[in-house]
Every structure is written in C-alpha cells, then in structure tokens.
A and B are shown apart, each in its own frame.
Chain A
Amino acid sequence: MVELELYKAMVRARAFELVLAEFWEAGAISGEMHLGTGEEAVAAGVTRHLRSGDAVSLDHRPTPVLTLLGVDLQLMLAEMLGREDGLCRGRGGHMHLFSKTHLAASSGIVGSSGPLAAGFALTAKLLRPGNIAVAFFGEGAMNQGMLMESMNLAVAWKLPLLFVCKDNQWAITTRSVDVTAGSLLERAAGFGLPCQEVDGLDVMAVAETAGDVIGQMRKNPQPFFLLARTSRLDSHQMGDPMRRMAQHPVGEGGKTFGNVTKHLLAPRGSGPVTRIKSLMHLLALLGDSRKDVREHKTDPLFLTRQQLEQAGQDTESIEQDVARQMEQLVDSVQVDSPAGGAHGKHDL
C-alpha cells in the first residue's frame, strides 16, 4: 500500500534526524545542525519517483532526501562524527554530503542547488534520456540570483529539471514574506516554468503531484516548479538562539534584550514610534519562533499517522521497526573502532 510505504519512508527520515539531534546535543557533531524535520513529506513524496540515473542537488538540510535515496545511514552518521570511515571520509560534514553513486550533492551556499541541478539536468538530457535532475531549496533561496538564473536557463535549454521549493516561511530569523516581492508561483511562472503548488505536509498529495510531473518530464524533457508549503519543526538550527530566547526570555533573552532596552531609550536615533515599531517586530518574531516546534498540526508525520489510523492501518509496527533499525545504527557507530580518535566514540 502506497500510503504505508510513504509513511514508513517519513518515519525513517524523521528517526535519522532525531539520531543526529542526539549526537549533536552530545557534542559529537560539530558546527551547525539544520534538521529537516517538517520536510519529510516532501522528501518522501518526491524521492518515491526517482530512479537510478536521476540526480539531486540539496541545500543545508540534505539528510531527509539522502536517507530516502538510500544512502547508507551508517556512512552518513560516521561522516558527521568526523570519521575516516564516513561517507566523505570526515571531510564534508552535514552541509556538504556527497554520494556519487546516488548522484546526490549538497551545499551550504543558499541558492546554489539551482545551477548545480541545471548541470545535472543537462547531462541527463544529453547522456541519459529519460532521467531527470531535482533541485531542493527553501523559499529564502528564491531571492538568490543564481537560482532565478537557473530557472531561466532550464526553460531556455529545455532541461529536465524539477525545482522543489520547500516553503517554511522562514529564513533564519527573517519572515521571508517581509523581504520577498510578489508571489513565488507567479515569479516562477514568469520564467515560463510550468508550476504547481502542493501541501507539503500531505505526503499523498506530494507523491501524486510529483509522480505526474516527473512522469511527464521523463517523456518530454522540460523543467517544472513545485512549491510545497512545509514547516520548521526544530527552528532554523539546533540550539537556535532565537528559540532559546523565546523559551527563556529572562536568561537567554535578558542578555540580548538588556542591550536592546538600553538603546531603546538612548538619545539620538529614530523617534519613539519607529523604536517601538522595531521592538514590536522583534517581539513578534520571538513569538512566532515559539511555533517552530513539533506540534501536531504542522507535523507531516503526525498528520499522516492520524489518517492511517483512521483508515484502520497499523502504524505502530512500522515505527517499532524503524526504531530498532536506528538503535542498531547507533550501536554500530559506537561499537566500531573510531578512526576519529577522541571524536569518534560517544556516550549518548
């Protein structure tokens, strides 16, 4: 049953994200960690229709798609632990994951998945007719010139390139609507791209739309723009300062807002109305950021589970299966002799 398979894919993707979260919290994964929690329905719905020879370019939340493309989870986890036996020998890290066998590449430069996928699509068109390329990116990336240019390129060159915009309405602490002109669908349509909007929290809807579109693209190479509304269930990144401030207004917030209060009243500067407006804006953002949590109505996993349960399906055995796999995964990296010395072994 398609629904159950999609659900299983989403559960797997989520579970791996949560494993990463744990290792990150424990300090075993360094740097930033942008989880893809909230994007699982998009990842599952699109990757379901990909096949060998298709290529994928990813942004700073690459792991759900890589997980569902079948990249070895142990290799990926070992990579993020900085180990020689990792996917990229510990050289890449979580924003720079590459799997040549899956033709999947990621990058931390916002917007860069567009041009890369254009190149992948060109190769597909010339060397592997019937194959396609997919670019995943956020709505914030839609303001990056290189991404818009690659839309033009894809249309002008008739490239089999599926642009998948994951619209979670945020770019770090910015509400994207505040810095984005016009509508994203109309923008893409302005390039002559066929477009469609889909509820990115509804895995069946994503899968159906992606299936239709990708089927057409294989027969008749041309680009397509898919706008999927998603959510950001763990804020921009793990340990996100804005979220910490929102959750601990006195401790964390006090540090930042102490300085703000001081300058709210300082002589010279804008008038009181402008200052109050700025302050209200900041407080509103903090308030909004409190919604970046795994709450049910924006959680694709929860929504799908609810549907399946209502249809009398057994979701629990899927969850247990996946949980077992993840336990084995965690054990496997902890038992293995770590190549990364002190950075290889961790107690969770």
Chain B
Amino acid sequence: MANMTFSAAIDRAVMEAMAADECVIIMGEDVHMLRSAHYTRFGQQRVFPAPISESSFVGAAVGAAMSGLRPIVEVMLVDFVGVAMDAVLNHMAKIETFSGGKWTCPLVVRTACGGGYGDGGQHEQTLWGMFASIPGLTIVVPSNPADAYGLMKTAIAHDGPVIFLEHKLLSESWLEFLGRLGRQTVAFDVPAAGAQGDVPANMDSLPFGQAIVRRTGNALTIVSLGVGLHRALEAADQLAEHGVDCEVIDLRCLQPLDARTVIESVSKTGRLLVVDEDYKSCGLSGELAAIVLESGLSPHYARVCLEQTIPYARHLEAEALPNTQRIVEAALRLAAGEKQRDV
C-alpha cells in the first residue's frame, strides 16, 4: 500500500507500463519537463517533446498506434483537443470499424480537464460528454488515486483509443502549474479524498465500465464522476441531516457506461439526480435519464450541471460549476416533489 497523489498515481502507472513494454511511448508539449522522471529513464527514443501542433501529433499518435506502438499522447488541457478534433473524431474512433475490426488503434489521450481555479472558459472545460457521444472511444474520468492508477493501466493495455481525463482539482501537479504557481495567497476547494490516497501495492488494472457505489442509501440516487463525485458525497452528508438518505454512484467511465449499477440503484430509490461538471445540454445528464427510461423505470429526475461558458471571476465560476449547495437544493426539491405527490 502506498499513499500518493492523484498525479503521482497516474505517472506511476505510465512508468510501469513503459518499463514493461518498449512500445509504450509518450508524446506531447513539454513532456520532457512535465514527465521528467520518464524522460530521464527512457530518454528521447520514448518520450517525445512536441511542437505546438496538436492536430499533427495527435494524428501521428493514431498512425503510430496503428502500426505497432502504444502511444500515450498528452494534450495539456482538454480544451486544446479542439485543435486535434479531426484525429479524434474521424480517425482514432473509426479505424476499428472501418477496417471491419481487423485493425485497432491502441492509444491513450491523456489530458487535464475541469475548473475551480479561475483560469477562464477556454481552459477549464471537461467535454467528456462530447467525446463519449462518438462511437469507438473509451472515456475515463477517475475520482481518486487508486482508480486513476488502475484505469490508466487498463487504458494503456487496451487495444482501442482511450481519452483519459485528469481533473485539475484532483491533480496536484496541474493545479500547481495553472492555479497556485507557488502562491500562498490563493485557495482552492480541493476534495482531499480525491487528490491523495492509498494505492494498494498489489493493485492491478481496473476494468472499464464498472461504476461503484460510494455511499448506500434508499431515498435518492446521485450519479456523478470526477470532482462532482466528491461534491455529491459532501452534499449527501448534509442531506442525511435533512433526513434524505442518498446513494452515491461514481461512474468512473462514461464509455462504456455501467448502466446496470445506475438502474439497480434507481429502481430502489425511485429518484435520480445527476451531478455533471460538463455542459448540461445533450450530454451525460440527459443520457442517464434516457438510460433509466429505456429500462422501464420512470424516476423523479433532476440534474446539476454546467449551463454556461465558465466565467473567469472566481465567485461566478463557483456558482457555475456544480457545487455542494446546488446539489443539496436540487436533492431536497427532488425529495420533496415526490412526497407532495404521495399526499
């Protein structure tokens, strides 16, 4: 058992995979510094500092993956994947289908996401729902070091393209690089249990598509992921004091999505609240509603999501992102709604 930060857990999974398989390489801007330990140990033949040419080096990762390497391509922030969208949308996601299943594309796009440190709407998006809507991609959003470690191991071993999203409030190294920058004068609402934790020594890879129930309860199911999961757990503590007993599910992957765990819980509680740091429209929150409806359930439903371009001002940003207060209020309304109907 080792206690480590979220970013260290991911770095360790990458380090072990590189030591075990010569085909695993890293490419991306500034990776010589960002992954200095990997760069030192494996050198310039395995760790490739890239020019600011995302469309080209993400596209090159696709070709490299198709021809025998297993690239981990780093796009600093998920917002910048916009520049490389063709490689993601039209290429890595399609190779396997286009080739009739005869050609795969084993690569990981490692990218930081999420807000909460006042960097503005072009550097703090999550965008996981948009990626998850594209068939052919696996989308991973871990919420703690152990999951991050296990899911990164699985991602590197996986034979298809994986988008691995590393939330900046959980990832100490990114938060330091983009938000704190050595200052004692700024503070962030970092979920402690997500940013640092134990990674069991014998831990191996964690399968994709397995959600996990983080808290059991009967009154209401809250489904979330990443930092939202921690906000939901905090809200659940407060809701318990109001007599609302919540079940909290951590999705961990958006694609494949563990519909069964969600449906089982909702069939018990009859109420579904989705907490999603991604945009509200046409994304994960609506998808979860559709999944439970398709299963034949008709629960009471609400969602707490991002509904606007993330504003720069810290106080506006705090309101825009799903926060504990918004979750508590939505849950109370949801709980009260059905009670009224019961009368």
A residues bordering B, Cβ < 8 Å?
25-28, 30-33, 79, 82-83, 88, 90-96, 107-111, 140-141, 143-146, 171-174, 176, 178-180, 237-242, 244, 252, 256-257, 259-260, 262-264, 266, 268-270, 274-275, 277-279, 281-282, 285, 340-343
Q: CA separation between A216 and B42, bound complex, in Å?
A: 53
A269 to B45, CA, bound (A): 10
Q: Mark B97-136, 1 if CB is under 8 A from A, else 0.
A: 0000000000000000000011111110000000000000
Q: Give the residues in chain B near A269, CB-CB below 8 Å.
A: 18-19, 41-43
B157 located at the interface, meaning its Cβ lies under 8 Å from any Cβ of chain A in the complex: no
Chain B hits for A240, CB < 8 A = 181
| Complex partner residue of B119 from A93, A268, A343, CB under 8 angstroms | A93
- The 8 Å CB contact of B49, one of A88, A174, A279, A342, is A174
Please name the residue on chain B nearest to A91 by beta carbon: B311
Task: Point out the residue from A93, A259, A281 that lies within 8 Å of B120, measured CB to CB.
Answer: A93
Whether A145 and B55, one on each chain, are in contact in the complex, defined by CB atoms closer than 8 angstroms, is yes
Q: CB distance A180 to B316 under 8 Å?
A: no
With contacts A174-B29, A274-B44 taken as known, whether A82 is within 8 angstroms of B37 at the C-beta atoms is: no
Are A279 and B40 touching (Cβ within 8 A)? yes
Bound Cα distance A143, B119 (Å): 24
Partner of B30, one of A83, A174, A274: A174
> How far is it, in angstroms, between the C-alpha of A257 and the C-alpha of B33 when the chains are bound?
10
Give every chain B residue within 8 A of A259 (Cβ-Cβ).
Answer: 36-37
User: Is B15 in contact with chain A by the CB < 8 A criterion?
Assistant: yes
Q: Is B52 part of the contact surface with A, judged by Cβ < 8 Å?
A: yes
Asked if B50 CB lies within 8 Å of chain A CBs, one says: yes
Contact B120 A95 (CB under 8 A): yes
Query: A25 contacts B183, CB within 8 Å?
Result: yes
Given contacts A263-B40, A282-B40, 8 further A-B contacts (CB under 8 A): A79-B312, A82-B315, A82-B316, A94-B120, A111-B52, A172-B29, A176-B51, A252-B182
CB proximity of A282 to chain B, nearest CB, Å: 6
CA distance A262 to B177 in the complex (A): 22
Q: Does B186 contact A (CB under 8 A)?
A: yes
| CB-contact partner of B43 in A107, A179, A274, A341, under 8 A | A274
- A-B complex: 5 closest residue pairs judged by Cβ atoms: A30-B118, A27-B185, A239-B181, A82-B313, A93-B312
Q: Are B50 and A179 in contact (CB under 8 A)?
A: yes
In angstroms, Cα B49 to Cα A275, docked, is: 15
24 cross-chain CB contacts under 8 A:
A25-B185, A27-B183, A27-B186, A30-B119, A32-B123, A82-B312, A88-B312, A93-B313, A95-B120, A96-B121, A107-B122, A140-B51, A171-B30, A172-B29, A173-B30, A174-B29, A176-B51, A238-B181, A240-B181, A241-B182, A259-B37, A262-B37, A278-B43, A282-B32
Contact with A along B129-152 (1 / 0, CB 8 A): 000000000000000000000000
